Structure 1
Amino acid sequence: MLAGIATSAGAQDQGALTVPVSAPDHLSAAQVFALAGRARDRGDFATAEIAYRALTQDVDLEVRTEARFRLGLMLADDMRRYGDAALEFRRILDDKPGAARVRLELARMQAMLGNMAAARKELRAAQAAGLPSAVEQLVRFYSRALNARKPLGGSVEVALAPDSNINRATRSDTLGTVIGDFSLDEDARAKSGVGLALQGQGYFRLGIEPGADLLVRASTGATLYREGDFNDITVAIQAGPQYTWGSNQLTFSAGPARRWFGGHLFSTTIGGGVSWQRPVGKRGQVRLDGNIAHVTNRRNALQTADDFTLSANFDRAFSARFGGGVQAFGFREAARDPGYSLAMGGTSAYLFREMGRTTLVGTLGYSHLEADARLFLYPNRRVEDRYSASIAATLRALHLGSFAPLVRLKWERNRSSIEIYDYRRVVAEFGVTSAF
């Protein structure tokens, strides 16, 4: 039963169910559990999996819960199928969000899959739900065990993205300048379209010594359209050491990035950064990031610049199924031309809520931008206020393997003193997401 789950991670036949329930071949649930346990003990995992999965279809929620938990443990500890195990633990939590022991196992699976942020989120949610003292010790154990990470992993997201303004351009057909109004051609004005949005990342981790790893990460993002003039593709690689001591984690990284727009190289970047994070109390986590980069603009040499970014993030679990976070950031771009040099600051906040087998995430953001000087062509110095909002839903009930459907709606409004930068944008994304 679930009580057995909360006190014994590795038990197989302990706390056997005493209520006889109809099961395959007219066996009671307790008999099927015993059959599965014996099969697992002798290494016949295929038979054990069939038995456990049969019990996951039982009419009794407690029987299904116990079967999923034992199946998840076997998939993880004996078969190394961490993604499949995570799915079983997640299904238990959809029905019983306060099952702290199960949430700890899900955190362990996320760590083994390399999803460190998700693992720490589950630990915070477990503590927010309230833990007995014995389980508190397990939380500390798992927090330390996050250092034993998977050497290879990543994630991928694919979505169709109807967009009301794919080029983030003004809807006006004219542009005011110091020498009069210019007419804008069609490509310079707001253009709608349906694109294919792709995001992916992968990593490789090599242990150097206890508490220190070499971490190599590659990432890519692309938005592709039938007409290639607005295709936007970015590829980046970063590498550096990652140090862990106590509850602190310090990561250094550096590497190149390239961006193509409309099929042509738009910019090349070389830079690096440092990130530090640690828990705050039992439910929170703080992260500080700093980055420096040199960006070479291949289309306009005057926009070649040195970029500096600082940000602070705080995340907190309010309960086992509800949490959120805030971010504040500052950005400085020192370009060759003062008209393209700018400073920007902003903040954002998010909330997530698990509702059955659906996870909802809502975000709000605001930023303010000011250029150092007025560009010769424009009558005003560039000053902007940008507002954004989004809501996303991950529909785990409709999953196929480790892939789950994702629906996201995004809204942007950029108010600018320069007409060409003033725009509105609405994007809907329908796709799938997965970690591996």
Structure 2
Amino acid sequence: MRRPLGAAAAALSFLAPAAAAAAGFADPPPAPPPGAADAPIPIDALIEALLEEHRAQEADAVLASLLASDPRNTDLLFLSGMVAMERDDHQRAIRLFRAILIDHPKAERVRLELGRAFFVAGDYGNAARQFQFASAGHPPPVVQANIDKYLYAIRQAKALSYSLDLSLAPDSNLNGGSSSREVTLYGLPFDLSDEAQRHSGVGAQLGATGEWAPHLGANSRLRLGASLQRREYSGSRFDDMTAALYAGPRFVMRRWDLSLLATASRRWYGARPYDVAAGGRITATYYVTPQVGLTTDLSVQTVRYDAATHLTGLLSSLGETIVYALTPSSGVVGRAGISRTRARADAYANWSGYLAAGYFRDLPAGFSAYVETSLAVGSYDASLPAFGARRVDLASSTMINLLNRHIVLSRFTPRLSYSYTYQHSTIPLYSFDRNRVELGLTTTF
């Protein structure tokens, strides 16, 4: 019987035979029988023998020499990745396994080893993603059981996490303004103010989140998190920034994640304070299967506006999200939600809801694509006296996200995003359309 590739590989070595068969990898040729000294030794057998003798540096040199003449050989790249893991060079292993997946996105065995490399490197978000997609290939029970162990360990081990997005954002309607130059108030025409009219421009966008989650007990943690969202344009009239904080306990069970959080946020618009909010949120995720997660999010917060005090009130929302990994290289996302906004003026109190569906796929040449379409509706409680009508909005949106996993700058990869939104309103002032492009870098891929 063949032995595993070294001590460091042992954590997932028991996955190898079943996972390789499931992924379509051929079993390695057997070692030559005793007495066949002149028979060529298969490269995988040679590398295994060197690793068992703790000669990983020599194994690396052998593979480097072979790759110099055949740099796209997937078997050699895979063995090099395993040797890199043996040498605790986890980032190099990640690069090598990713290089294989660029041309072979359905290679489940490689996804398993990439997930393990991310796990050992402490990048739990990307590790979980790889294991979930590997689960979608319906591996044999022994493989799936160990994937489950890794996913549970990830949810318990994740203590420090962050994400960062930087982009340039050309926008055809950065303030969501009307294309009209004129508005009818109390039955009379008035010129629309410059700030209410449609404006286009190119801005810079920053999105950053971070969380520290120290242990409270065997299956619980304290979540302490912060986020910052900023869009900045020429001048400052339409700059938009929100800073948020949250804190509370998180309970981790075999199939459940439950967080009870206190939340607070501050928003600035046009370089001036706009609103402040405080409240609470309950987030619960149930893992129906390793590749299917269902998340429920309930939040209640009081929102106080600095200038537009007639908008001040209570905001309550309920959202559902389902993530389903269809295959080792594709998945779907479904989202739905409803919210209730109360305000001091009834004409600004409203009910709103949304539905969204998205599809993700890893493509050849290292590209990954995500397409989402959504529909949102908002219905207000009372008529706006100046317009003599009650506002009802219906908005549709389509978004396409494209990134290339082949290009990695430290932990960043390039991202290109395009979205189109059209909103129809019973009050024409609130009808608009918008094209938006984002070109930047992201740590989430």
Shorter chain as denominator, the TM-score bin is 0.7 to 0.9
The aligned counterpart of 1:23 is none
The correspondence of residues 66-105 of structure 1 with structure 2, limited to 5 A, is: 66-71=78-83, 73-74=85-86, 78=88, 81=90, 85-105=93-113
* 2:110 alignment partner AA: V
Is it true that 1:219 corresponds to 2:227 in the alignment?
Answer: yes
- Residues 1:256 and 2:264 are matched in the alignment: yes
Paired position in structure 1 for 2:398: 389
Q: Of the candidates 376, 380, 392, which is equivalent to residue 371 of structure 1?
A: 380
Matching of residue 309 in structure 1 with residue 321 in structure 2: no
The percent of aligned pairs where both chains have the same amino acid is 25
2:158: which partner in 1?
150
- Cα deviation, residue 222, structure 1: 0.8
Q: Find the aligned partners of 1:295 and 1:113 in 2 and give their Cα distance.
A: 41
Cα distance in 2 between the residues matched to 1:181 and 1:50: 80
Is 1:362 the counterpart of 2:371? The answer is: yes
CA contact (8 A) 2:263 2:281 kept: no
Which residue does the alignment assign to 1:203?
A: 211
Provide the residue aligned with 1:65 in structure 2: 77
Cα offset for 1:9?
3.2
* Counterparts of 2:267 and 2:65, CA distance in 1: 50
Q: 1:197 to 1:60 in 2, by over 3 A?
A: closer
Q: 299, 307, 327: which is aligned to 1:299?
A: 307
| Structure 1 partner of 2:174 | 166
Cα distance in 2, alignment partners of residues 43 and 239 from structure 1? 45
Shift of 1:179: 4.5
Structure 1 residue 229 and structure 2 residue 273: aligned? Answer: no
3-state SS in 2 of match to 1:329: strand
8 Å CA contact retained: 1:36, 1:49: no
Secondary structure of 2:423 counterpart: strand
Q: Hey, what's the Cα distance between the residues in 1 that align with 2:280 and 2:358?
A: 27
The secondary structure found in structure 2 opposite 1:169 is: coil
Provide the C-alpha distance between the structure 2 equivalents of 1:149 and 1:31, rounded to a whole number of angstroms: 35
Call closer, same or farther: CA 1:109–1:29 in 2, change over 3 Å.
closer
Instruction: Please list the CA deviations of residues 249-296 of structure 1 after superposition, one character each: whole Å capped at 9, or x if unmatched.
Output: 111111211111111011111121111112223532211110111111
- Once the two structures are overlaid, the 10-residue window that deviates more, 276-285 or 313-322, is 276-285
- Normalised to the residue count of structure 1, the TM-score between the two structures is 0.86
What corresponds to 1:279 in structure 2?
A: 287
Distance 2:348 2:267 in 1: 19
Cα pair 1:112 1:149 within 8 Å, conserved? no
* Distance in 1 separating the partners of 2:330 and 2:152: 24
Q: 1:169 to 1:405 in 2, by over 3 A?
A: same
Alpha-carbon distance, 1:116 to partner = 6.1
User: In the alignment, is the contact (CA less than 8 A) between 2:98 and 2:406 conserved in 1?
Assistant: no
Matches within 5 A, 1:236-255: 236-255=244-263
User: 2:329 maps to what in 1?
Assistant: 321
Letter in 2 for 1:288: T
Rounded Cα–Cα distance in structure 2 between residues aligned with 1:285 and 1:269: 29
Distance 1:372 1:191 in 2: 29
Contact 2:124 2:158 in 1 (8 A): no
What secondary structure sits across from 2:156 in the alignment?
coil
Give the Cα–Cα distance (whole angstroms) in 2 for the partners of residues 114 and 307 of structure 1: 37
Q: Which moved more, 1:87-96 or 1:325-334?
A: 87-96
Asked if 2 retains the 8 angstrom alpha-carbon contact of 1:160 and 1:431, the reply is: yes
Q: Which amino acid in 1 is paired with 2:201?
A: G
Q: Deviations over 1:152-172 (max 9, x none)?
A: 220111111100001001010
Q: Per the alignment, do residues 152 and 208 of structure 1 end up closer, same or farther by CA in structure 2, a change over 3 Å counting?
A: same
In structure 2, the residue matched to 1:420 is 429
Q: C-alpha distance in 1, partners of 2:220/2:263?
A: 19
Instruction: Give the gaps of 5 or more residues in structure 2.
Output: 17-26, 33-41
Larger radius of gyration: 2
Alpha-carbon distance in 2 for matches of 1:331, 1:134? 44
1:114–1:154 Cα contact (<8 Å) kept: no
Q: 1:336 to 1:37 in 2, by over 3 A?
A: same
Shift of 1:106: 3.5
Letter in 2 for 1:426: N
Q: Between Structure 1 and Structure 2, how many residues are aligned?
A: 419
- Tell me by how many angstroms 1:139 deviates: 1.5
Deviation, structure 1 residue 129: 1.4
Cα offset for 1:60? 5.6
Q: Distance in 1 between matches of 2:228 and 2:61?
A: 39
Query: Which moved further from structure 2: 234-243 or 85-94?
Result: 85-94
Post-superposition Cα deviations, 1:373-409, rounded to whole Å, max 9, x if no partner, equal 1122222111000100010111122222221110000
8 Å contact kept, 2:403–2:414: yes
State the AA in 2 paired with 1:65. L
Decide whether aligned partners of structure 1 residues 273 and 109 sit closer, same or farther in structure 2, where only a CA change above 3 A counts. Answer: farther
SS of alignment partner, residue 389 of structure 2: coil
Comparing 237-246 with 87-96, which one deviates more in the overlay?
87-96
Aligned to 1:429: 438
Amino acid at match of 1:258: R
1:137 and 2:149 correspond:
no
1:422 deviates by: 1.0
Return the alpha-carbon distance in structure 1 between the equivalents of residues 429 and 214 of structure 2: 47
| CA shift digits 1:206-258 (9 cap, x unpaired) | 01111100011111111111211111011101111110112111111112111
Check whether the contact 2:424–2:431 (CA below 8 A) recurs between aligned residues: yes
Aligned to 1:178: 186
Query: Could you tell which deviates more after superposition, 253-262 or 84-93?
Result: 84-93
CA RMSD in angstroms comes to 3.3
Amino acid paired to 2:407: L
Q: State the shift of 1:182 in Å.
A: 1.5
Which residue of structure 1 lines up, in the alignment, with residue 408 of structure 2? 399
SS of the residue 1:397 aligns to: coil
Shift of 1:127: 2.0
Deviation at 1:145, TM superposition (A): 1.1
Answer whether contact 2:273 2:306 (CA < 8 A) is retained.
yes
Deviates more, 1:256-265 or 1:135-144: 135-144
Partner of residue 332 from structure 1, selected from 340, 347, 360: 340
Q: Deviations over 1:49-88 (max 9, x none)?
A: 777666665346233332343155347xx35x5x655443
